[in-house]
Amino acid sequence: MKYMNLLIICSLLFLLTGCSSSSSQDLYTSKIGLLLPHTIDDQGWNSKGYRGMLKVQSSLNMEILMREDTSTYESVSTAVQEFVREDVSLIIGHSHIYADIFMMLKDEYPDIHFVSFNGDVEGDNITSLHFEGYAMGYFAGMLASELSETETIGVIGAFQFQPEVQGFKDGAIFHNPNTTVLVDYVDSWINKDKAITIFHDMKEEESDIFYPAGDGFHIDIIEEVKKEGLHAIGYVGDQLDLGESVILTSTVQEVEDLYEYIAKQYLSGELASGNQYFDFQEGVISLGEFGQEVPEETVQWLTEVVDTYIETSELPNEHTNVSY
């Protein structure tokens, strides 16, 4: 009888171990589907999403399926169906536009976890990742107002909902109340012609530093800035390589690191539904390298300002007893 009991226990342990190993292996080899609103050759947001998936593929050995230029409900729905047929279990929409679409689709696919950016979501099997852009814009504005020779700077936004645009204006005026901040919107991420027109209009108003806050036109604006011998602050990625004498710094969103974090959370079964927020404190937003036109004392000053924000979560205007 003792022998029989031992045999049963060993058999159960073998089965449980086998099930656990199989489940872990199935999860580890899960596939991710990536939806991009535009193409990966924009040198900005979409290319960072693509590079983020390459990092996940390399570090976590996950298979990646991708669809570019997918931005309508119909195209997204079709892509999701294709992903499901390919046994994809995690779908990431690399834009705020996917939040509403995923909200409409998620109940049809309860075994899929949907992830989008910067859009409000609620319910099970859906997560939205929010880059807190206000602070990065704030610090960019402080730097621009510090270095502007004309005391006129310009920010070219894509849409009015971008917190980094308001942050840029607020940071600039806080640091130097005499600064004139020109603000205009392209109403598109990719309308390069309109963005360039806005740039020239701002240049006519004597703006000498520009913050092109649109991932589909920022490179074109930087090239125009370079032609005119002016200065710019890079957007989304560290863009010092576009001109060390042109770029003052960049507001960097570390999409690659965030994607790896999300994939690890998913694989471990810890990816929470709902809205998640990320800022400097989480290490996924930062200022890029400083250009050669930024004095060392300015670099030290702004670095200290950013470090204080990381430690306290308070912006300079919230420190009433500190001079900036």
Q: Which DSSP string corresponds to 68-111?
A: SS--SHHHHHHHHHHHHHTTEEEEEESSTHHHHHHHHHGGG-TT
Domain spans in the chain, listed from the N-terminal domain onward: 7-131+256-282, 133-253+294-318
Q: Alpha-carbon distance 196 to 123, whole Å?
A: 41
Cα dist from 60 to 25, 29, 86, 282, 291, whole Å: 12, 9, 19, 21, 35
Mean pLDDT of 85-105: 96
Asked whether 91 and 98 are in contact (CB, 8 A), the reply is: no
7-131+256-282 and 133-253+294-318 agree in CATH topology: yes
The β-bridge relationship of strands 152-157 and 113-117 is: unpaired
User: Beta-strand (E) ranges in 143-230?
Assistant: 152-157, 180-185, 209-213
According to the model, what pLDDT value does residue 319 have?
Answer: 74
Which residue type is seen at 303?
Answer: T
pLDDT at residue 12, as a whole number: 38
Residue 186, classified by CB atoms within 10 Å of its CB into exposed (0-12), middle (13-18) or buried (19+), is: buried
Q: How far apart are CA 137 and CA 73, in angstroms?
A: 31
- Does pLDDT of 203 surpass 50? yes
Alpha carbons 117 and 199: distance in angstroms, whole number: 28
CATH T-level assignment (fold) for domain 133-253+294-318: Rossmann fold (3.40.50)
Residue with tokens 């969103």: 253
- Token pair of 296, please? 């060392």
Query: How many residues would you count in the chain?
Result: 324
- Do 266 and 295 meet the contact criterion of CB atoms below 8 Å apart? no
How far apart are alpha carbons 229 and 209 in whole angstroms?
10
Ramachandran region, residue 140 (left: φ > 0; alpha: ψ -120 to 50; beta: rest): alpha
Interatomic CA distance for residues 165 and 233, integer angstroms: 12
Which residue reads 């689709």 in tokens? 105
Q: Is the pLDDT of residue 233 over 90?
A: yes
Question: Domain 7-131+256-282 is in which class?
Answer: alpha beta
Looking only at the bridges linking them, the beta strands covering 209-213 and 231-236 are: parallel
For the chain, what is the mean pLDDT? 90
Q: Is the pLDDT higher at 186 or at 28?
A: 186
Name, in order, each residue with C-beta under 8 angstroms of 321's C-beta and a sequence gap of 6 or more: none
Distance CA 52, CA 58 (A): 10
* pLDDT of 296 above 60: yes
How confident is the model over 269-280, as pLDDT tens digits?
A: 999 999 999 999
What digits encode the pLDDT tens for the residues 147-168? 999 999 999 999 999 999 999 9
Q: What is the mean pLDDT of residues 128-142?
A: 97
Would you say 205 and 182 are in contact if contact means Cβ atoms under 8 Å apart? yes
> Given pLDDT bands bounded at 50, 70 and 90, which one contains residue 23?
very low
Does the pLDDT at position 16 exceed 80? no
What pLDDT does 135 receive? 99
